Chain A
Amino acid sequence: MSLLVAQEIYKSFGGNKVLQGVSLEVSQGETLGIVGPNGSGKTTLINVLSGVIKPDSGVVVFGGRDITHWRPHRRAKLGIGRTYQITRLFANLTAIENVMIPLHYGSRQEASQERIEEILQMVGLSHKKENYASDLSLAQRKRLELARALALNPKLLLLDEVFAGLNPVAVQEIVSLIQELKNKLGITIVIVEHVLKALSQLADRVVVLAEGRLIFEGKYEDMVKDKEVIKAYLGERYGASA
C-alpha cells in the first residue's frame, strides 16, 4: 500500500521551471532514494512534500488524504518529519528543548523528561542534552535534527542530504542509525542523497531527477548502469561514449 503519493507536481520560480510533472509513490515501510545532479529539483520536491513550498499544480496524498494545501505544521502532526540540507535547529535552545518542542506541538504526546531522553539516547546525544544547538558539531547537529524529526513520532521521514559535509566515519555511524530506525520503528523514509555509497546501503528503490523530471526509477544496481542517468550526470559527450 502506498503511504505517500505525489502526482504530476509542477513548480516554477520566476521563469525557472524546477519541477516539471514529477510523480512518485512510496510504499509503507519502504526507503526511497532520490538522486540527481545539482539543481535537478530534489530539495524543491522535499519542500513540496513537507509543505514548505506550495506546488503550482499537482497533488500530494498521504495515508489516503489529500494534503496538497496543508501547511507544514499540520503535516508534522500527521506524522511527516523532515531534516534540512543545511540544518535548521533552534540554535539558542538546548538539545532537550529542541526535542521538546516537536514532541509537544507535533506528536501531541506528553513531553516528559523520560521520553525526551529516550529520543536523544536513540540518536546518541544523551551526553550533549544540556548543550545549546549552536554549540554542537556538524555531525551532532545532524543527529539532533534527526531527533527532532523523530519526536514527531513520524510515519514518514524526509531526509535532505543528511550526510553532506560529514567525514566517512560519521557517515557510517548515521547510516547505521537510520537503518536501526527503519528496522526498529518501521518508519518509511524518503532520502535525498549525494553520497551514493550511503544510499546504496539504505535505499530499497531509487528515483533519479534531472531538470525537474524523473528519468529513472528502479534498483540502485540498475541505476549506476543506466545510460540516461550517466548522461544526466556527466553531460552529453560522456554519456554517448559510455
Chain B
Amino acid sequence: MEKLSKLVLVLTLLMYPLPLILSGYWERVLASVFMLTSLTYAQNVLLGYTGYPAFGAIAFFGVGGYATAILMIKAGLPFGVALIVGGLVASLLAFAIAPALMRLKSHYFAITTLALQIALAELFANLDITGGAYGINLPIYRGFLGTQIFYHIFLSILLGSFLVNLFIEKSRFGYALKAIREDEIAAESSGVNTVLFKSVAFGIMAFITGLVGGTYAYWITYIDPESMFDPLLSVKMFVALLFGGVGTVAGPFIGAFSLELVSELVWSKFVELHGVVLGVIILLVILLLPGGVLKSRSG
C-alpha cells in the first residue's frame, strides 16, 4: 500500500475516538465532511476507475434516503436494517438501468444521469408514499451515543468506501474497470464483459451513495425532494474529486476534506457570500487544477 493510502487509513482510524474531545459543533462539521468524502469515494469508483461521470449520482442519495425513511416509518423496520435495504434499493435501481444508460458516454451520460435525478425529485414530489412536496418526518434518534452515533456511522461508511477503493486499486476486479476506463472496445476484445462490469461499478457507486443518503435522512430527521436531490451536492462531490485527484485512493479524501473545511470556514464567516464563493471555487478548481492535486497514472 502506498504511503498516502496508509496515511488516509491511519487518519480515518484516529478519528473514531475524536468525539471524546470535540465540541458538538465540530462533531457536526466533521460528520458532514465524512459524508462528502464517502460520496466522493463512491464517485471515484465510477469516474475514477471506470471512466463514467455520473453528474446526477445524487439521485441515488435521494433514493437511499427515501427508501430508508419509508422502511422505517411505514414498515417499522429498525434503522440499521432499513439503511442496508435502502442502499440495496438504490444499488439495484442503478444496476437495472445501467445497461441502457451506459451506452451513452462522457457528457451525454453525465447529463442523462442529471435528468434522471431531476425526474426522480419530481416524481417523489408527487407520490403519496414519499409525502409529496412536504416530505417525510423521521423520529429523533435517542439511543446509544445519542446523535454522536451519526458521526460514527458516517465515519464507518467513509472507512468502508475507502477500503472499496483500495480493493479496486489493487485487485483483478479493479483492472476490469480500468480497462473499461481506458478503452471499452479493447476491454471487450480482451475478454472483459464490459456491460456487466460497468453495471457493477454503477451499482457499487449507488450503494455507497444510497447508504450516505439513508444516514443523512435519519440525521436531519426531515427530508423533502429539494434536500435529497440537491444538484449542489453533486457538484461539490465532483469538485472534491477533481481537486483531490481522479482515480487515486487518497484523492477523494484530500479533496473532500479541503473543500468541505474551506467551505465551512467561509460559511461561518460570510454567510451571505457563501454561494458566490462556492461558485468561484468551482471555477478556479477546474480551470487551474484540471488534473487534481494527485495524478492518477497507473491509477
Contact = CB atoms under 8 A, between A and B. Distances in A.
Given A84-B186, A88-B183, A105-B176, A94 B298 contact: yes
Given A73-B192, A76-B191, A106-B190, A93 B182 contact: yes
B185 A105 contact: no
Contacts, number: 90
B190 A52 contact: no
Given A101-B192, A102-B190, 6 more contacts: A52-B185, A73-B191, A92-B296, A93-B178, A105-B193, A132-B298
B52 to A, nearest CB: 16
A123 to B, nearest CB: 16
Contacts of A132: 297-298
Majority SS of interface residues in chain B? helix
Interface in B181-200: 182-183, 185-195
A105 B182 contact: no
B172 interface: yes
A73 B193 contact: yes
Contacts of B175: 93, 97, 100-101, 104
B298 A106 contact: no
A86 to B, nearest CB: 11
Contact of A76 (B172, B188, B298): B188
B299 interface: yes
B205 interface: no
Q: Which 7 interchain pairs have the tightest Cβ spacing?
A: A106-B191, A102-B190, A90-B182, A72-B188, A76-B191, A105-B191, A88-B186
B179 interface: yes
A231 interface: no
B251 to A, nearest CB: 15
Interface of B: 172, 175-176, 178-179, 182-183, 185-195, 296-299
13 contacts: A71-B188, A72-B185, A73-B189, A73-B194, A84-B186, A90-B183, A93-B178, A93-B298, A100-B175, A101-B191, A105-B191, A105-B193, A132-B298
A71 B192 CA distance: 10
Contacts of A82: 189
Interface residues of A, number: 32
Nearest to A158: B189
A60 interface: no
B72 to A, nearest CB: 41
A73 B182 contact: no
Interface string A63-107: 000000001110011000110100011111110010011101111
Contacts of B190: 73, 76, 101-102, 105-106, 148, 151-152
B270 to A, nearest CB: 40
A50 interface: yes
A90 B186 contact: yes
B182 A92 contact: yes
B172 A104 contact: yes
A149 B194 CA distance: 17
Contacts of B298: 92-94, 97, 132
Given A90-B179, A97-B175, A101-B179, A73 B188 contact: yes
A104 to B, nearest CB: 5
A88 B188 CA distance: 11
A148 B29 CA distance: 49
Nearest to A82: B189
Given A92-B297, A92-B298, A52 B189 contact: yes
A101 B297 contact: no
Contacts of B178: 90, 92-93, 97
Contacts of B179: 90, 93, 101, 105
Contacts of B186: 84, 88-90, 148
Nearest to A145: B186
B169 to A, nearest CB: 12
B297 A52 contact: no
Given A73-B193, A76-B189, A89 B297 contact: no
Contacts of B195: 71
Contacts of A97: 175, 178, 298
A31 B186 CA distance: 23
Contacts of A73: 187-194
A146 B28 CA distance: 55
